[in-house]
C-alpha cells in the first residue's frame, strides 16, 4: 500500500519541471530578456567569489597561521576531499573523507575528531556566499533596489543561516527561503534559480569542506607551536 502511495505521488513530482518552467516563463515575460543577462552575472559573480575564497582568502588564512606556502595544501584538499564533496553535495557524507585526510596529514586525533564533524555543519563559507549572492540577485529580479544597509543585513542573515544549514544536498536552498523571507522578498522567486541549484550546490559544498581541513591543520599546528614555546 505504501508503494502504491509513492507511485500515486510520483506523477505530481514528474509534473514539477513544467511548473518551474511556467514560473520562469512568467518571469521572462515580466522582466524581459534582461533576466538572461542577470543569470550570466549571477553565475560569474558566484563562481568568481567562490574561486576568490578558495584561492585567495583561504590561502591567506593558512599563511598567517603556518607561515609557509599554502597552495600545496589547498590543491591537495581540493583534489582529495573536494572531489567527493563536489559529487556527493553533502558535507555530512564527506566527514569520513576529511577524517582520513586529517589522519594522513598527521594531525591530532583528539582535535580533528571534534572539529571536522562540527565544521561540517557550522563552517559553511560556500553556502554563506551562495545565499548572499542569490538573495541580492533575486531582489534585483523583483525590481528592488537595495541600500547598503540592506546588503549588510543580507550578509549577516545569510552568514547566520549558513551556520544553521544542514550538511545535506540542497539544504542551503531551504535556508535561502528563510533569508528571502527575512528581507521581504517573495519566496516563490526561489524557483528562478531552483533548476541550476544542483550545480551551485556542488561548488559550495566543495568550498565548505576544504575550509574544515585547513582550519583543523592551522589550529593543530598553531597549538603545537604554542606548546613548544611554553616548554
Residues that bind ligand ASP (CB under 6 A): 89-91, 124, 127, 165, 167-172, 201, 204-205, 208
Give, in degrees to the nearest 5, the angle at Cα 165 between 43 and 123. Answer: 85
Residue closest to ligand ASP, measured at CB: 172
Angle between helix 125-141 and 171-182 (nearest 10): 50
Q: Which is nearer to ligand ASP, 204 or 221 (CB)?
A: 204
| Minimum distance from residue 125 beta carbon to ligand ASP (Å) | 10
Sign of CA dihedral 106, 112, 116, 119: negative
| Minimum distance from residue 177 beta carbon to ligand ASP (Å) | 12
Residues 114 and 196 sit within 8 Å (Cβ to Cβ) = no
Q: Which is nearer to ligand ASP, 70 or 167 (CB)?
A: 167
Q: Which is nearer to ligand ASP, 113 or 168 (CB)?
A: 168
| Minimum distance from residue 93 beta carbon to ligand ASP (Å) | 8
Q: Which is nearer to ligand ASP, 124 or 179 (CB)?
A: 124
| Minimum distance from residue 77 beta carbon to ligand ASP (Å) | 15
Using CB atoms within 10 A of its CB, is residue 163 exposed (0-12), middle (13-18) or buried (19+)? middle
Q: Which is nearer to ligand ASP, 62 or 134 (CB)?
A: 134
Q: Which is nearer to ligand ASP, 89 or 221 (CB)?
A: 89
| Minimum distance from residue 25 beta carbon to ligand ASP (Å) | 26
Q: Which is nearer to ligand ASP, 82 or 172 (CB)?
A: 172
| Minimum distance from residue 168 beta carbon to ligand ASP (Å) | 6
| Minimum distance from residue 191 beta carbon to ligand ASP (Å) | 17
Amino acid at each position: 500500500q505504501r508503494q502504491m502511495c509513492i507511485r500515486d505521488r510520483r506523477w505530481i513530482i514528474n509534473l514539477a519541471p513544467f511548473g518551474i518552467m511556467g514560473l520562469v516563463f512568467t518571469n521572462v515575460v515580466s522582466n524581459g530578456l534582461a533576466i538572461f543577462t542577470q543569470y550570466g552575472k549571477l553565475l560569474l559573480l558566484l563562481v568568481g567569489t567562490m574561486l576568490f575564497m578558495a584561492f585567495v582568502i583561504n590561502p591567506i588564512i593558512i599563511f598567517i597561521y603556518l607561515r609557509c606556502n599554502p597552495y600545496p595544501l589547498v590543491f591537495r584538499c581540493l583534489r582529495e576531499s573536494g572531489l567527493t564533496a563536489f559529487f556527493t553535495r553533502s558535507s555530512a557524507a564527506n566527514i569520513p573523507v576529511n577524517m582520513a585526510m586529517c589522519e594522513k596529514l598527521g594531525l591530532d586525533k583528539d582535535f580533528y575528531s571534534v572539529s571536522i564533524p562540527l565544521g561540517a555543519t557550522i563552517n559553511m563559507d560556500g553556502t554563506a556566499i551562495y545565499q548572499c549572492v542569490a538573495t541580492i540577485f533575486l531582489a534585483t529580479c523583483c525590481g528592488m533596489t537595495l541600500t547598503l544597509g540592506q546588503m549588510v543585513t543580507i550578509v549577516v542573515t545569510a552568514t547566520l543561516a549558513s551556520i544553521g544549514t544542514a550538511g545535506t544536498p540542497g539544504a542551503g536552498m531551504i535556508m535561502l527561503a528563510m533569508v528571502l523571507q527575512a528581507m521581504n522578498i517573495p519566496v516563490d522567486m526561489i524557483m528562478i534559480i531552483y533548476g541550476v541549484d544542483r550545480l551551485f550546490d556542488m561548488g559550495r559544498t566543495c568550498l565548505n569542506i576544504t575550509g574544515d581541513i585547513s582550519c583543523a591543520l592551522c589550529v593543530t599546528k598553531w597549538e603545537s607551536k604554542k606548546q613548544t614555546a611554553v616548554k
